[in-house]
Chains A and B, each alone.
Chain A
């Protein structure tokens, strides 16, 4: 099972490991070995790591060590399969999602909420933008998710991976146009999905959807508010609302 950057993964993974002792040993020699080897090769470049025994592993490296990590993983540790490279904007959205958004609260009559504190998922992080990538060693059957903070927040930049993994080219172009993260050394950072004259970085949390600013979602106005369910006390299972997999990481 692959869990990517979900903050509930660390708490959940040990439980699962305990439940499935046959399939998922509490000590994962393979993954612990890979992480130990990485720590040895990268030195201070490796900031944090997390191993879900028998399942998966995550590391966070400094942005300076981002390119070196790729080289190490591919050329030394044999992770020759490049799965993907992407980015996350961890900023709590000022526009909210659905009920949190001001334009929507007007319609719903709810009160605007305070933005949640910033969280950065597995292996943590300080910056607003993080790049993440996943590579795998298909011979030894392990995969690893690598994260790095892209700093500074107003002009995030990290080194390119294209010299190590040629396939990272388009992924970096997409991350660049969607999040505005500059990949230093990329041969031609230009738009890949968006029209070439597009301005702004649409997957940033503070990218406004102008249509929504002008006119709230028209579909909601002719819908009656959902009736509130009056259930007897104690009948509702408390886990239903806070199911670890139900919510979004933010």
Chain B
């Protein structure tokens, strides 16, 4: 972890090549060090955070005045830092008879703050929750007294989570969790609070800044999607090839509990949508044996999307896993107990995240948890199915090899697509696609769920969502189209497809849909734009290939005379 002085040193470095993101910081205490930490941490994640810092204790003043400097600044993110110590002071000023309603009143204010921000800006709100102070007035008995501070502050923290579920552009920075891992004495430096009205210690500031950056980068689409796991001494204790299935440590044998805990955590990540894969130097049949036969194994073969066990170099094996899953290295995490393997992989594939696992397996889970590697900006229940989707994909790859032509393969898949409007049911998945997809994404514009719902009811836009299934299974919702009506033209604001359905003729199906809609609704032209990023090279020539004509950076297609593209997908 970086220390505060290093973050401060970053401030004088060159940020000019990084993407600029405007952030406003509003606090109920002094925020200078917080702002410096956030700005400095940006250097670590290649982002140029341009920060507007409101004057001391101006949250309400800025938020409720629609002509305030805050709104004039038009930040992408507004960080609202409220502190438990200030809350405590307010609580003490509240009359005894009103103390039981203190939490509710506070939550009402938060709701009003969010409403005002939403009404006056497009900013996303990052709101700190509260480190839970037991003020020692009731001791443990506080649990039984509704008018105690502990009771009310916990109510507020839970209420903030409820608000975050409801208000789509509200994100909670969980300072309560950070406090519980640091401890109150390390979280706040009494000296800094008394002398400068700062509530975060220099030690905790880098962690706060990191987690703010985690939230922002995940909203920007930088998320981890896959874990590559070593087996011996990582997933179980001992070496399967030497010790045999009855002697590896998992469950109750030796320190097996440490490995069971890691497997439990990994399975939870799988449910959350993280793809688990195995990369092990082993004989494949031996490596698979515990997954198939050991009664204490938590993970089974169907939890693993891709199982690679052989005696080849791990670098090559990881490159193979990357190519089959078609994910970026920067979205993958490699977990291996061997320092040697980790060093080799880090050097060969620097984009890969390679945590330096502690020597002691008992510390694996606490250590990995503390890294906050799996921050996300969206979650939908379909995420639990993702492993199955990748396994089905592997089956298709095998089928593909058995056909002589791509056409034969595609028509054999019996693909069906349903074309949907945007609605509140598919909005979470659509928002997620805009945030996760980097490759087949023409303009890489990220939308939140709230944005998607706005688009759904906008008269200036026409939006479509596409599902796909074939005889092997459901791909789910894998494509979206956001069209903006501009007089006689339809502008393609977003055309995004999940990389799982590349080369399925899905893009042809979607293009046909655009033209069909245009013709049916009196539009004469379709206008497209390609905004290059390091990751969307595969759609660089998309418009050219579809015979769009270029003119000053944009691509134009007349709908008259359009020849319907060949597709192997039937419309449901």
Q: Do A and B come from one complex?
A: no
Question: Could you list which residues of chain A lie within 8 angstroms of chain B, going by C-beta atoms?
Answer: none
* Chain B residues close to A by CB (< 8 Å): none
